């Protein structure tokens, strides 16, 4: 790190404004240089071809649109198959039920497919746990050890509040959690880029659903397509609030893929566990989105440059916040509708049957 420039006392490290930095409302510059390649493993292909390709806006945009469109076209194919299979099994039925039974394709009945789905869920569970623990470790070390030790050479250590160090760590892209700190403390740039790439892999979830003869819901396709675009914006422009997406989402996915893995080996958990997981997902969106917006109002004193800056001080950094808020609003409503349909209506229906 560079030597700090003498500024005011430690108490002024963080401040709050009623309005965001005016630069946060500027149009983003999509021609801005890409962040530095964040991974340790380097080849000419990865650094000079794959990484720039993954950072172009056209890459996640075309992939997401293709995925979203393809899913809803395939849903029609699956629906027609469900109708055919139902009418074969119930030739006397005059009308279709509200929920048509699934019509699995042959591949989903094979042992190899079932092993693949189990390993897929185990892989994503382990990856999510690793990502969550890795980034939380980076944030803790940076806010409690690296920055306080360095700042302590200039400020009285007793004046360094945990909240000051947290916001300094998160907001200061050049000297905070975005950067790697030795081989054992990987920065947000490392974890966020891998997390962005993992969102492409997660669409296998949708392919598994379709192979099992079920239609993929709007919630499913919208969730995956939007996550790819939002993660791209945060990584592409090194936006500080992207830590929220990585930490919160990896935590939820650790539980979710653990649950899916258990289902693969016929271990059934109580319905309340799944209901709790859905509740956590909704809380994630509301709290995470609100916390992201809060970054717009934070100012921090950069003692390395001797300036006071907004935590979000460019249209590029703000883009990730705007995209996440636009994405999370309908996603939260879709999850709320799923919660009501899956738990409240089912509970009401069960109560009615018992009374009858």
pLDDT in tens, 93-136: 889 998 899 999 999 999 999 999 999 999 999 999 999 999 99
In a domain, 307, yes or no: yes
CA dist list (Å): 263 to 127, 278, 343: 19, 16, 18
Q: Is 14:294 a contact under the CB 8 Å cutoff?
A: no
In a domain, 90, yes or no: no
- The pLDDT of residue 1 is above 80: no
Whose tokens are 């995956």? That residue is: 224
In a domain, 61, yes or no: no
pLDDT at position 301, please? Answer: 86
Domain span including residue 116: 104-355
pLDDT at position 345, please? Answer: 64
DSSP 166-229: HHHHHH-TTTSTTS--STTS--HHHHHHHHHHHHHHTTHHHHHHHHTT-PPPHHHHHHHHHHHH
In a domain, 303, yes or no: yes
Tokens of 112: 């190899």
In a domain, 91, yes or no: no
In a domain, 150, yes or no: yes
The tally of domains found in the chain comes to 1
For the chain, what percent of residues have pLDDT higher than 90?
A: 71
Phi-psi region of 238 (alpha: psi -120 to 50; beta: other; left: phi over 0): left
The pTM for the full model equals 0.91
3-state secondary structure of 128: helix
pLDDT in tens, 76-103: 999 999 999 999 999 898 899 988 999 9
In a domain, 9, yes or no: no
What is the rounded average pLDDT of the residues 223-247? 96
- The pLDDT of residue 7 is above 70: no
In a domain, 76, yes or no: no
pLDDT in tens, 279-295: 999 999 999 999 999 99
What is the rounded average pLDDT of the residues 42-64? 97
Minimum mean pLDDT among 3-7, 95-99, 169-173, 207-211: which range? 3-7
């Amino acid at each position: 790190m560079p030597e700090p420039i003498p500024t005011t006392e430690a108490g002024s490290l963080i401040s709050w404004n009623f309005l965001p930095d005016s630069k946060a409302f500027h149009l983003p510059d999509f021609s801005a240089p890409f962040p530095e390649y964040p991974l340790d493993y380097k080849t000419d292909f990865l650094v000079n071809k794959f990484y720039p390709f993954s950072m172009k806006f056209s890459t996640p945009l075309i992939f997401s649109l293709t995925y979203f469109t393809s899913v809803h076209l395939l849903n029609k194919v699956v629906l027609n198959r469900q109708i055919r299979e139902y009418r074969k099994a119930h030739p006397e039925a005059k009308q279709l039920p509200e929920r048509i039974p699934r019509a699995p394709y042959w591949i989903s009945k094979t042992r190899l497919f079932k092993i693949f789905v189990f390993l897929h869920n185990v892989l994503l569970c382990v990856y999510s746990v690793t990502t969550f623990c890795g980034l939380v470790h980076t944030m803790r070390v940076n806010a409690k050890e690296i920055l306080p030790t360095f700042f302590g050479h200039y400020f009285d250590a007793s004046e360094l509040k945990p909240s000051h160090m947290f916001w300094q760590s998160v907001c200061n892209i050049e000297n905070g959690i975005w950067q790697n700190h030795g081989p054992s403390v990987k920065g947000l740039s490392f974890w966020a880029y891998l997390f962005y790439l993992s969102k492409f892999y997660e669409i296998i979830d949708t392919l598994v659903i379709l192979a099992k003869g079920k239609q993929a819901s709007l919630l499913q396709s919208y969730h995956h397509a939007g996550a790819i675009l939002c993660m791209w914006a945060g990584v592409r422009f090194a936006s500080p609030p992207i830590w929220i997406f990585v930490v919160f989402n990896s935590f939820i996915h650790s539980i979710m893929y653990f649950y899916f893995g258990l289902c693969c080996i016929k271990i059934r958990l109580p319905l309340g566990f799944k209901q709790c997981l859905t509740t956590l997902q909704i809380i994630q969106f509301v709290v995470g989105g609100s916390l992201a917006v809060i970054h717009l109002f934070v100012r921090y004193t950069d003692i390395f440059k001797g300036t006071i800056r907004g935590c979000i001080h460019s249209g590029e950094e703000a883009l990730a916040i705007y995209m996440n808020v636009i994405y999370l609003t309908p996603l939260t409503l879709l999850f709320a509708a799923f919660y009501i349909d899956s738990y409240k209506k089912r509970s009401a229906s069960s109560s009615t049957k018992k009374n009858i």
